[in-house]
Structure formats: C-alpha cells, structure tokens
Amino acid sequence: MTTAKRDTYTPETLLSVAVQVFNERGYDGTSMEHLSKAAGISKSSIYHHVAGKEELLRRAVSRALDGLFEILDEEPARVGSAEGRLEYVVRRMVEVLITELPYVTLLLRVRGNTDTERWALDRRRDFDHRVADLLRAAADVGEVRGDVEVRLATRLVFGMINSIVEWYRPDGRGMNEREVADAVVRLVFSGLRKQD
Amino acid sequence: MTTAKRDTYTPETLLSVAVQVFNERGYDGTSMEHLSKAAGISKSSIYHHVAGKEELLRRAVSRALDGLFEILDEEPARVGSAEGRLEYVVRRMVEVLITELPYVTLLLRVRGNTDTERWALDRRRDFDHRVADLLRAAADVGEVRGDVEVRLATRLVFGMINSIVEWYRPDGRGMNEREVADAVVRLVFSGLRKQD
C-alpha cells in the first residue's frame, strides 16, 4: 500500500487511498484508524479534509456515478438510432469501468447499510433504468430482438460488463479499455456465433 | 431463518442452514456459535455431524462443483459439434446455478484464505478451462467467431451467467431456470441485435 508524506496530501490522494482500503477490507470493516495507517497521516489530518469515512465513500462512489451518468449526456448517446445509442453506451460503460476501476468496484460492492450507500444504490438503479429504457426503445422499433424480456436482458448485459471488475488488472500487460470494450460490444450485440 | 428440532436434524438440513449463514455473514465472519444459533441445535450436536465449519464449507462448495462438473459428462456436452456442446453447457450452467443457487453463490464468493477455499478455487479454474477449451474448439472449426480472444470471451460469458446469483430469487413469481437459460443462450450465441 502506498504511503505519502503529510505535506504532499490532497483530498484527491486521500480519496484514492481510501478507495483502495474500502475495496480491500470492505467499507463496514474499515475504521478511521485503518485509513490513517494506510495514508500515513494522523486521523486529525484526515478530519481536516473530510467529516469522516462516510464522506470519503460518498466522494468515491460519486466519482463512479458521475462517470457513468456523463455517458448519457454525450452526443452519440443522445442522437441517432436507439441501437446505435445503446451500443455507444455499452462501449463507454466498459471504458469508464476500466478507467475508474477502483471507484466502480467500490460502487458495485455497496450494500445499503448507511444513507450514503442507499443513495448510491438508488443512483445505480436510476442509471440501470436509463439503459433499460434505451434497450426498450431499440426493441420497440425492431432494432434489437424482442424475444428476451428487456429487464432480464439489461441485467444480463450489466452482469457481463460489471464482472470485468473481478479480473481486470491495469498492469499494462493485458488489454486496454478499448480492446475489452470492442469484445463486449461484439458479444452483446452479435453473440458468439459466427456471422455469415 | 429456519430452526429445527434436534431430532429432525440430518447432515443435509445442517448443510442447508450453514450455507445460508455463510452467504449472509461471509464464511470468515461465521462462527460455530452462529451456526449453532441458526440451526437451533447445540455446538456439540453439530460436531456430532461434522468436524467443524470448514467441513461444512467443503461439503457445500462440493455440491456446487459436482453439479457443474456433471454437466460436462452429460451426453450432449460430449457428442456433436463443438458449438452445440458449448451451447448445451451454457444452458446447463444457468440451470445448475439456479437449482443450486445458495451453493453456487457460496462457491462464487470463496476467497482463498483456507485450504478448502483454495481447493475450491482450483476446481473452479479447472471448470473454467474445460469450458474455454470447448469455446476454443468451436472457434478453431469456425463455429464461433474468432475475433474475440477465447479467454476473454470465456470470462465475459461466465460473468454474465454468474451475475444471475446477484438478483435471482426463487420466490415462484419470477422466471424459472429454463426461461433464464433460454435468454442467456440467445444473448450469448446470437446477441441483442435482431437477426435478419
């Protein structure tokens, strides 16, 4: 775990250490003592930056949620055929998941024991619904298949995308976010079967 | 949580209670005391059936692993085109996951802190490799697309299937294992895009 000197500390580096600890120990299992040790600064220095660990959680999951919601505001997610917009959103979800990996990992592990966790779960659900709406729109105009129920299809596609946090490691040796996104888009839209 | 009288207890019902507690509290967070309370029998009665909680874990994940490995021995997984065999395995994986939901859920949450957990992870990896081999065989003969790397495709397909444990609830109101399996097979092999 990285430690840093007190005078080099910014809210940003503190957040990055906190997310790492939350992901390793679980949010419930993390105390201010753990955060202080991991950051190499005193608890009072942490309280200088934030009101407590729940504020760090809120900032961390906000970063993941903001990254996801911003996708929906990007032009290719707003303009064009429903299928094209959906494809763009799926691709960008994979890219955001990989570029914000620790933050999205934390978001996906949130359980709902505190106000902040329940708020994060609500926002996640909102995002899921926005993507499900896009899928429904594409099915309504016959651009995507209508024989898989929209909510189930959304869950399965999200399941595939979210599972990337279980194995992706940004060590520079594996695929980059673009290559993983290409593979996901191919599988989600065309499936494994060879196209004739 | 179900409680049962001592004289009605069998190793099977004890296992079912233990799996429920492991999934709720995490294996590491479960003590013999928790198991005793949940089962409504004394610790010494539990020790009459098993050597300790690690034996219960081993029995529970074995049930999930046996269910998965048995798929590979079934005739449609051994005979026919590689793609047909792969499709059969994907369908049956979903069915086993749903019929053995608490056991597979526990298997997927195993971390590797004890010998039993490491053994379970090894067996999971073996199973993954067997399915990856089938996918590779289907790609080699041109039955499935070759433009998504086999290991990545396997991970993404497993990610979709395994995510079902996050939301599937056997309350009789939702879809049964057959309907979910149909949807997964459609998405995995043909994708969302409408076939012409």
For residue A94, give how far its alpha carbon lies from the nearest alpha carbon of chain B (Å).
Answer: 12
Regarding whether A97 and A36 lie in a shared domain, the answer is no
Rounded Cα distance between B17 and B133, Å, is 36
Neighbours of B69 (CB within 10 A): 14
Regarding whether B65 and B45 lie in a shared domain, the answer is no
Q: What is the average per-residue pLDDT within A85-100? A: 98
Nearest to B89 by CA among B158, B168, B191: B158
Regarding whether A150 and A90 lie in a shared domain, the answer is yes
Is residue B55 assigned to a domain?
no
Chain A positions touching chain B (beta carbons under 8 Å): 83, 86, 135, 138, 142-149, 152-153, 155-164, 166-167, 175, 180, 183-184, 186-195
Tell me which amino acid residue B77 is.
Answer: A
Is residue B147 assigned to a domain?
yes
Regarding whether A147 and A82 lie in a shared domain, the answer is yes
Domain stops at, among A30, A50, A70 = A50
State the CATH number of the domain containing residue B20.
Answer: 1.10.10.60
Residue A141: domain span: 61-190
Regarding whether A116 and A180 lie in a shared domain, the answer is yes
Q: What is the average per-residue pLDDT within B83-93? A: 97
* Average pLDDT across chain B, whole number: 93
Regarding whether B73 and B44 lie in a shared domain, the answer is no
For residue B5, pLDDT over 80 is answered with no
Q: What is the average per-residue pLDDT within B31-52? A: 93
Find the helix packing angle between A32-39 and A53-73, rounded to 10°: 80
Nearest to B112 by CA among B30, B18, B28: B28
Q: Which of A192, A193, A196 to mutate to test the interface with B (most CBs of B within 10 A)?
A: A192
Nearest to A193 by CA among B135, B129, B178, B93: B135
Length of chain A: 196
Regarding whether B151 and B97 lie in a shared domain, the answer is yes
Instruction: Please report the pLDDT score of residue B3 as a whole number.
Output: 52
Regarding whether A147 and A77 lie in a shared domain, the answer is yes
For residue B7, pLDDT over 80 is answered with no
Is residue A141 assigned to a domain?
yes
Share of chain B above pLDDT 70, in %: 95
More confident: B115 or B12: B115
Is residue A1 assigned to a domain?
no
Q: Give the model's confidence band at B116: pLDDT under 50 very low, under 70 low, under 90 confident, else very high.
A: very high
Q: What is the average per-residue pLDDT within A36-60? A: 94
| A163 Cβ contact partners less than 8 Å away, ≥ 6 residues apart | B155, B156, B158, B159, B160, B162, B163
pLDDT tens readout for residues B119-131 = 999 999 999 999 9
Instruction: Please report the pLDDT score of residue A171 as a whole number.
Output: 84
Rounded Cα distance between A34 and A31, Å, is 5
Rounded Cα distance between A88 and A74, Å, is 9
Is residue B196 assigned to a domain?
no
Rounded Cα distance between A52 and B30, Å, is 29
Instruction: Please report the pLDDT score of residue A7 as a whole number.
Output: 53
Lookup: tokens for A128? 């899921």
For residue B72, give how far its alpha carbon lies from the nearest alpha carbon of chain A (Å).
Answer: 20
* Residue of chain A whose alpha carbon sits nearest to that of B140: A194
Which residue in B138, B144, B194 is closest to A143 by CB distance? B194
Is residue A195 assigned to a domain?
no
Q: Give the model's confidence band at B173: pLDDT under 50 very low, under 70 low, under 90 confident, else very high.
A: confident
Lookup: tokens for A61? 């999951």
Q: What is the average per-residue pLDDT within A93-118? A: 96
Regarding whether A71 and A42 lie in a shared domain, the answer is no
Q: What is the average per-residue pLDDT within B66-77? A: 98
Domain tally for chain B?
A: 2
Instruction: Please report the pLDDT score of residue B10 as a whole number.
Output: 78
Instruction: Please report the pLDDT score of residue B34 as a whole number.
Output: 96
Are A152 and B180 in contact (CB < 8 Å)?
Answer: yes
Cβ contacts (< 8 Å) between B142 and chain A: which residues?
Answer: 194
Planar angle of CA A61, B164, A191, nearest 5 degrees: 95
Q: Between chain A and chain B, how many beta carbons pairs sit less than 8 Å apart?
A: 125
**CA distances to A25, A26, A34 from A29, in Å:** 6, 5, 9
pLDDT tens readout for residues A61-85 = 999 999 999 999 999 999 999 999 9
Are B186 and A145 in contact (CB < 8 Å)?
Answer: yes
Nearest to B89 by CA among B122, B142, B137: B137
Regarding whether A153 and A104 lie in a shared domain, the answer is yes
Is residue B111 assigned to a domain?
yes
State the CATH number of the domain containing residue B70.
Answer: 1.10.357.10
Regarding whether B93 and B180 lie in a shared domain, the answer is yes
Contact A194, B142 (CB under 8 A): yes
ipTM of the complex: 0.91
Q: Which of A179-183, B7-11, B50-54, B102-106 has the lowest mean pLDDT?
A: B7-11
Q: What is the average per-residue pLDDT within B52-70? A: 97
Rounded Cα distance between B95 and B89, Å, is 10
Regarding whether A133 and A88 lie in a shared domain, the answer is yes
Is residue B175 assigned to a domain?
yes
